[in-house]
């Protein structure tokens, strides 16, 4: 079905927009911003903030339904006596919209004055300050001082909506975005306004507070600081935070996110628009699951038998020991996490090619999926692990084989990339039978405790790479922070290990000076990625 | 290069006239009002506008006025200020419902340039440049002023508005 376009003029600019487009979106096409609070492109239209009032004129039609022309041969346009809200007006042929006339500006000033009557002067302590629509539009349409001499309306502050959200009712401008989101998108009709007039207060239905996995999206939606994330509340002002485009690493959906960090500390994650994946939402499970990045127990130095060592020593030691194991005729197995990037898994597979051993697998992680964003597969990159040839088919089916091999004493060395082998079924007694256990991980655990060599890797927020989601979309993650201590991105560790092993085997060592080069080699050897370059994957990813 | 010595007259070479002239100058000042000060025991009297060390103040109710909005941290040209935002105890009495208070407030006095922008930008009038000009210490860590030290230096500052009382 082809979309029919109509022609209209917005502030003198000719715009072509599809039938059914509202005036805010049509103006956005022309590069004109119509201020609004309650309108959101992904939510139902409420039309209650009245901030998007514009002047709309329609061509006068004659009895033949053709536009009446004036003396200059231009269609005669009749403007309505009143201003019209842009969000709930759709485009029509020949429409003329004026968004910056004195009448419109005066109306917006009036709306702002009413909104600011009861709004508290909380900006110094309000977490929204710096990204607050009310603050921004008060600069454009507010007045220097208030004419309101009466007592301000006081509403409840610090209302605990649920364990994730703290509500400040005084700051609420009653736009109802949160109500519409919970009702229409999250599927739990639990918020509403109580009382009337200036006493209107946002509240949750008694005994039925928001309890979905998507509650924190209403904090992003709130144009003011009324709904605040309890996790982020009062922790840092937003203007200090650095934004890094990333991908949520907690399930196979691969929601696009923004990591907000300052000086090596991650303060929050928010969804990033991607119409093909997550639109503009993300789940609370993924959003709040970032604390491990700043865990004080992070591994920060390579360890050889519990002792801190230098990288050169650790890499040389591993290469030498692997050579010894192979020389003795024993097998080497590998466990590559599907939480690692595709480049890392590719290098991991390459390392095993160099070692002439093919006992590789990934650990499947499945949990309950919901019918929205959260995928049952909690590995962000199982498709990548399969593509790189690390994961067996089905994933995890060779773990028992590896366990049996260790039990029988055939497998004498195990390389673990970002995985808890003990939790995956290789018990500590089994691991104790190995001659060499090398673990690349970021946090200490049962597997690193059993390891002969521990190589500290970095979290998803500290490295670049790609994840391939369940639907086969290749997406990039970007480093937001510096790696802690001596920890290094896993792809660098694996590259150095591969070079050392190749040298020990007297084979030509592939040279990967940058991540882009690793990706190029991966694309070259993978039919599904034939001809791709690192630059081809934009900020919104690319489908396989 | 060779420097020629000035040719001295007999009076010059006698040396005594110069000694006497110097002594006469000294004697002349003995009965006059002295203008040297016993610094550092005796401090200079400064103009009211003098910008000395930045300090944090409390209001008349004894509450910390700073709400850790971090605007001073943002505006500070040498990046001397570091605020660790914190939450105020909810159980405090009604007039203490300020919600936010710095957990720590650090001014690195080795960096501070006494420009006064922090005082200028503060929306809560919580930071003031007082007249302390000689900020010294034996260690660098002594010159890192923390919240307690800054509040001690700042003292009480009457707040005519008491914005938070009306909450």
- Residue A178, domain CATH: 3.30.70.20
Same domain for A265 and A284, yes or no, is yes
- Which of these three, A274, A294, A314, is where a domain ends? A294
The pLDDT tens digits of the residues spanning B8-46 come to 899 888 999 999 999 999 999 999 988 888 888 888 888
Q: Is the pLDDT of residue B95 over 60?
A: no
> What's the CA gap between A135 and B67, in Å, rounded?
19
Mean pLDDT of A368-377: 92
DSSP secondary structure string, B95-122? Answer: GG---EEEEEEEEETTT-----HHHHH-
Confidence of residue A140 (pLDDT cuts 50, 70, 90): very high
Same domain for A312 and A289, yes or no, is no
Same domain for A270 and A158, yes or no, is yes
Same domain for A165 and A247, yes or no, is yes
**SS3 label, residue A471:** coil
> What's the CA gap between A313 and A294, in Å, rounded?
27
Mean pLDDT of A199-218: 94
Same domain for A319 and A407, yes or no, is yes
- Which of these three, A294, A322, A338, is where a domain ends? A294
Q: Is the pLDDT of residue B90 over 90?
A: no
Same domain for A393 and A415, yes or no, is yes
pLDDT recorded at residue B48: 84
Q: Is the pLDDT of residue A502 over 70?
A: yes
User: Does the residue A105 lie in any domain?
Assistant: no
- Residue A40, domain CATH: 3.10.20.740
Cβ-defined contact of B99 to A158 (cutoff 8 Å): yes
Cβ-defined contact of A240 to B74 (cutoff 8 Å): yes
User: Does the residue A193 lie in any domain?
Assistant: yes
- Residue A446, domain CATH: 3.40.50.740
Mean pLDDT of B110-137: 93
Q: Is the pLDDT of residue A298 over 90?
A: yes
User: Does the residue A386 lie in any domain?
Assistant: yes
Confidence of residue A231 (pLDDT cuts 50, 70, 90): very high
**B67, B81, B85, B90: which to substitute to probe chain A, counting the most A Cβ within 10 Å?**
B85
Q: Is the pLDDT of residue B166 over 80?
A: no
pLDDT recorded at residue A144: 84
On whether the CB atoms of residues A381 and A365 are closer than 8 A, the answer is no
User: Does the residue A410 lie in any domain?
Assistant: yes
User: Does the residue A128 lie in any domain?
Assistant: no
Q: Is the pLDDT of residue A49 over 90?
A: yes
User: Which regions of A113-254 does DSSP assign to beta strands (E)?
Assistant: 159-160, 165-167, 191-194, 201-204, 227-229, 242-247
Q: What domains sit in chain B, N to C, each tagged with a CATH number? A: 54-166 (3.30.70.3270)
**Distance between terminal CA atoms of chain B?**
81
On whether the CB atoms of residues A347 and A426 are closer than 8 A, the answer is no
On whether the CB atoms of residues A510 and A502 are closer than 8 A, the answer is yes
Confidence of residue A264 (pLDDT cuts 50, 70, 90): very high
Q: Is the pLDDT of residue A261 over 90?
A: yes
Residue range(s) defining the domain that contains residue A362: 303-543
Same domain for A271 and A321, yes or no, is no
pLDDT recorded at residue A341: 96
In order of A125, A271, A362, B54, the CA distances from A402 in angstroms are 56, 39, 11, 65
Enter the pTM of the model.
0.91
pLDDT recorded at residue B87: 86
Question: How many domains is chain A built from?
Answer: 3
pLDDT recorded at residue B44: 81
Mean pLDDT of B127-139: 91
pLDDT recorded at residue A455: 96
Same domain for A363 and A271, yes or no, is no
User: Does the residue A135 lie in any domain?
Assistant: no
User: Does the residue A487 lie in any domain?
Assistant: yes
Same domain for A337 and A288, yes or no, is no
> Within its chain, how far is the Cα of A146 from the centroid?
40
Same domain for A401 and A444, yes or no, is yes
ipTM of the complex: 0.84
Confidence of residue B164 (pLDDT cuts 50, 70, 90): low
Partners of residue A129 in chain B, C-beta under 8 Å: 69
- Which of these three, A263, A294, A325, is where a domain ends? A294
Cβ-defined contact of A235 to B74 (cutoff 8 Å): no
Scanning every residue of chain A, which has its alpha carbon at the shortest distance from the alpha carbon of B125? A124
Mean pLDDT of A293-315: 94
Confidence of residue A127 (pLDDT cuts 50, 70, 90): very high
Same domain for A83 and A210, yes or no, is no
User: Does the residue A112 lie in any domain?
Assistant: no
Q: Is the pLDDT of residue B147 over 60?
A: yes
Residue of A329 and A340 predicted with greater confidence: A340
Same domain for A431 and A342, yes or no, is yes
Mean pLDDT of A4-24: 94
Residue B135 distance to chain A (closest CA, Å): 29
**Nearest neighbour of B67 by CB, restricted to A124, A154, A239:** A124
Q: Is the pLDDT of residue A371 over 90?
A: no
């Amino acid at each position: 079905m082809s979309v029919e376009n109509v022609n209209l003029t917005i502030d003198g600019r000719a715009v072509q927009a599809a039938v059914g487009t509202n005036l805010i979106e049509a103006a956005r096409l022309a590069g004109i911003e119509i201020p609004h609070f309650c309108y959101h492109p992904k939510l139902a239209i409420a039309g209650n903030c009245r901030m998007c009032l514009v002047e709309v004129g329609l061509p006068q039609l004659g009895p033949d339904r053709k536009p009446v022309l004036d003396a200059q041969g231009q269609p005669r346009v009749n403007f309505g006596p009143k201003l019209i809200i842009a969000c709930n007006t759709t485009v029509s042929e020949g429409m003329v919209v004026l968004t910056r006339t004195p009448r419109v500006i005066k109306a917006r000033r009036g709306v702002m004055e009413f909104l600011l009557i009861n709004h508290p002067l909380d900006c110094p302590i309000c977490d929204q300050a710096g990204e607050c629509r009310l603050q921004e539009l008060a600069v454009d349409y507010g007045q220097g001082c208030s004419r309101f001499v009466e007592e301000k309306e006081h509403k409840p502050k610090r209302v605990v909506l649920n364990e994730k959200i703290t509500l400040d009712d005084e700051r609420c401008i009653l736009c109802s975005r949160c109500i519409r989101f919970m009702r229409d998108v999250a599927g739990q009709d639990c918020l509403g306004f109580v009382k009337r007039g200036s006493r209107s207060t946002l509240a949750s239905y008694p005994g039925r507070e928001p309890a979905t996995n998507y509650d924190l999206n209403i904090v992003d939606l709130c144009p003011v600081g009324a709904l605040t994330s309890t996790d982020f509340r009062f922790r840092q002002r937003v203007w200090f935070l650095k934004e890094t485009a990333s991908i949520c690493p907690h399930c196979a959906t691969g929601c696009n996110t923004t990591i907000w960090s300052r000086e090596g500390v991650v303060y929050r994650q928010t969804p990033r628009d991607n119409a093909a994946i997550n639109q503009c939402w993300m789940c609370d499970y993924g959003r709040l699951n970032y604390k491990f990045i700043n865990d004080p127990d992070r591994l920060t130095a390579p360890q050889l038998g519990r002792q801190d060592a230098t990288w050169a020593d650790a890499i040389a030691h591993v290469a030498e020991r692997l050579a010894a194991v192979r020389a003795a005729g024993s097998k080497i197995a590998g466990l590559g996490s599907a939480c690692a990037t595709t480049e890392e898994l590719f290098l991991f597979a390459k390392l095993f090619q160099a070692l002439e051993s093919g006992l590789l697998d990934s650990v499947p992680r499945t949990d309950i999926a919901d019918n929205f964003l959260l995928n049952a597969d909690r590995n962000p990159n199982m498709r990548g692990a399969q593509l790189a040839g690390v994961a067996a088919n089905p994933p995890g089916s060779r773990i028992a084989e590896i366990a049996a091999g260790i039990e029988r004493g055939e497998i004498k060395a195990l390389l673990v990339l970002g995985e808890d082998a003990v939790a995956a079924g290789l018990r500590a007694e089994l691991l104790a039978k190995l001659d060499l256990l090398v673990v690349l991980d970021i946090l200490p655990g049962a597997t690193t405790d059993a390891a002969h060599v521990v190589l500290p890797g970095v979290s998803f927020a500290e490295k670049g790479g790609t994840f391939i989601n369940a639907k086969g979309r290749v997406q990039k993650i970007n480093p937001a922070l510096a790696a802690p201590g001596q920890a290094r991105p896993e792809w660098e560790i694996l590259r150095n290990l591969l070079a050392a092993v190749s040298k020990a085997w007297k084979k030509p060592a592939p040279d990967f000076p940058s991540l882009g080069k690793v990706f190029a080699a991966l694309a070259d050897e993978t039919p599904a990625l034939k001809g791709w370059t690192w630059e081809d994957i934009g900020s919104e990813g690319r489908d396989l | 290069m060779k420097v020629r010595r000035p040719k001295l007259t007999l009076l010059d070479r006698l040396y005594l006239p110069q000694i006497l002239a110097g002594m006469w100058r000294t004697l002349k000042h003995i009965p006059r009002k002295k203008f040297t000060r016993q610094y550092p025991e005796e401090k200079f009297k400064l103009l009211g506008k003098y910008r000395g060390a930045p300090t944090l103040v409390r209001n008349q109710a004894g509450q910390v006025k700073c709400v850790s909005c971090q605007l001073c941290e943002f505006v500070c040209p040498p990046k001397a200020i570091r605020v660790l935002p914190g939450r105020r105890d909810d159980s405090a009495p009604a007039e203490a419902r300020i919600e936010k208070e710095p957990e720590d407030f650090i001014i690195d006095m080795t960096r501070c340039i006494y420009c006064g922008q922090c005082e200028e930008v503060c929306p809560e009038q919580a930071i003031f440049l007082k007249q302390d000009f000689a900020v010294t210490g034996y260690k660098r860590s002594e010159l890192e002023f923390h919240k307690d030290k800054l509040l001690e230096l700042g003292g009480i500052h009457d707040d005519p508005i008491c914005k938070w009382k009306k909450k």
